[in-house]
Structure 1
Amino acid sequence: MNTAAAPPSAAPPSPRALARRRRREALRSFAREYSRRRAGMVGLVGLLLLVVLALCAPLLVDPADLTVTRAPGAAFEPPSARFPLGTDDYGRSILDLIIWGSRVSLTVGFLATAVSVALGTLVGMTAGHFGASGGTAGRLLSSVLMRLTDWFLVLPTLVLAVALAAVLPRGTGTIILAIGLTVWPATARLVRAQTLAVEARPYVERARALGGGHLHVMAWHVLPNVMPVVLAQTTLLVATSIIAESTLAFLGVGDPTTISWGGILESARNAGAISSGIWWYMVPPGLAIALVALAFTLCGRALEAVLDPRLRERR
């Protein structure tokens, strides 16, 4: 009779290891589901190419060729082998201007979106949480925050952004602040609705019963559940922010010391390119704005479909 002891069983994985495994599985599942969205993949590839182009702009374009005193060509040259997209009224290559301008347009788009999303998430989550479980004082705070959100929501966004950009000192930081402070209300209302849905779930009530305070509930239970909505909203707002920056630059309230796609369009308008039929000065920057907005929109819709189970079932 074999009396040898059986080998000891392996120790169960720690909670931290289980959490890491679940996160890896969730990321793999997300990647598989996103890769099935052809439109989202097209938008993602386009955005990656655009980001690489913006990062490599100093290697592709000589900044000296972008100055009006050292232009490499003659004014208003049509597209040719030397200048694939023609030149502007100073003789600068339109292609070089678009490549260099992508840096400013993308930077403003990302940073303005970060300001808007951060502000909208903070306001929406605070209003939703204290409106659901903050008592009389909490409901008053929620009401004040949402009335403030409604006030910003009914204001004309473009007019408010132009007013802020005109009052504050000119610069890229002013444009970022002006856009970020005008497009956050939609995010706030979306996050508030999602927060109210999360606050009604049993595990949140259990956390409160066990002594979890407002900060604990918001940071560990509400925020992780509203992040998918925030992520999808972020990709959509980047496109809105880039278009807003281009609009402000076209209206002449942008930063005159930097080159952006909207600034190129504004220069084309001032140079009379529209009445003169110089299409290569207007069409390329307009197409660049439209294509990057389309790419971000495709990614945002794909993320929304992947992260929302109801939309995933309709696929």
Structure 2
Amino acid sequence: MSDVTARRREGLARFWREYRAQRSGMYGAAILVVAVLAALLTPLLTDPSGLDVTRATGEKMAPPSLGFPLGTDESGRSILLMILWGSRVSLLIGFLSALLSMVIGTVVGITAGHFRGWPSAVLMRITDWFLVLPTLVLALVLAAILGGGTSTIVLAIGVTSWASTARLIRAQTLAVEARPYVERSRVLGGGHWHVMTRHVLPNVAPLVLANTTLTVAGAIVTESTLAFLGADAGQASWGSMLRGSYDWGAVTSGAWWYVLPPGLCIVAVVLAFTLCGRALEVVLNPRLRGVS
């Protein structure tokens, strides 16, 4: 047991050492640490009653000041307070949607790669169908049918964004199952479950991790777009803030403090996840190290 623990620690240390060598990945990780800490500490440092339009104390559409560092919205609510609480909704939906997409894509990809013949053909036709359909349009339709709420938005994004993951995992599964030790496992009596969980899954896990990190970025963009189009989770999020600024003509009236903060937050977090995902791809895929 001690040898296994030592190997795991050595592997983690090597991973962290190689990841630190990716400067862009470290920049992305720093941004994510700040964003996640802000989301986690917001309930401890701020009062959510300020989000209630009936309890707003600021002047409507007021520019930044000492009392309201990022200005106020059309109801007199603090933009900074909305940004902080909105980070919780946007990040939560992004993480949960990517997790759901990862689970579906991994299960479908491994199953399609392991079982040949008609099971693989059926799963790949379903995957192709989801790849062809516009993800945003399908998510918008599902959100409209199922109604509002965080769980609905997570479900709508998760079930419409797994297809690309499934194709990647299937290709990797085919490569893994062609290796000699997998063939030996079958000859020695290893069943389908044993091969998929003991041999295939550990080998595709690095690809799943890197792809999931990139999926979070796409999920946040999709959630923001859905919120902007009116299919939000019923809570303050960065996308719903952009919708509010658009409805109240913040751009035409010059109220930049209502538009820029949520927009910059979306861009920064999406860029951070993308940088981390690309860095993970380089670290976990030896063939890319020379390219970076």
Which residue among 118, 129, 134 is the counterpart of 1:140? 118
* Cα displacement (A) at 1:313: 2.5
* Cα displacement (A) at 1:70: 1.0
Amino acid at match of 1:65: G
Instruction: Report what 2:149 is aligned to.
Output: 171
* Cα displacement (A) at 1:72: 1.9
* Cα displacement (A) at 1:212: 0.1
Which residue among 50, 61, 71 is the counterpart of 1:65? 50
SS in structure 2 of the partner of residue 282 of structure 1: helix
Instruction: Report what 1:4 is aligned to.
Output: none
Amino acid at match of 1:33: E
Which residue among 50, 55, 70 is the counterpart of 2:40? 55
* Cα displacement (A) at 1:270: 1.4
* Cα displacement (A) at 1:62: 1.0
- Please tell me whether residue 278 in structure 1 is matched to residue 255 in structure 2: yes
SS in structure 2 of the partner of residue 87 of structure 1: coil
* Cα displacement (A) at 1:255: 2.3
Which residue among 9, 17, 32 is the counterpart of 1:24? 9
Instruction: Report what 2:227 is aligned to.
Output: 249
Instruction: Report what 2:269 is aligned to.
Output: 292
- Please tell me whether residue 238 in structure 1 is matched to residue 216 in structure 2: yes
Amino acid at match of 1:147: R
Deviations 1:145-180, CA, capped at 9 Å, x for gaps: 000000010001110000000000211100000000
Distance (whole Å) between structure 1 residues aligned to residue 276 and residue 160 of structure 2: 23
Stretches of structure 2 that go unaligned for 5 or more consecutive residues are none
Instruction: Report what 1:114 is aligned to.
Output: 99
Runs of 4+ in structure 1 over 4 Å off: none
Q: Identity of counterpart residues, as a percentage?
A: 62
Instruction: Report what 2:240 is aligned to.
Output: 263
Which residue among 74, 87, 105 is the counterpart of 1:89? 74
Instruction: Report what 1:216 is aligned to.
Output: 194
Q: Number of matched residues?
A: 292
Instruction: Report what 2:161 is aligned to.
Output: 183
* Cα displacement (A) at 1:79: 1.1
* Cα displacement (A) at 1:279: 1.1
SS in structure 2 of the partner of residue 314 of structure 1: coil
Q: Please give the root-mean-square deviation of Cα atoms over the aligned residues, in Å.
A: 0.9
Asked which structure has the greater CA Rg, the reply is 1
Distance (whole Å) between structure 2 residues aligned to residue 156 and residue 128 of structure 1: 25
SS in structure 1 of the partner of residue 147 of structure 2: coil
Amino acid at match of 1:42: Y
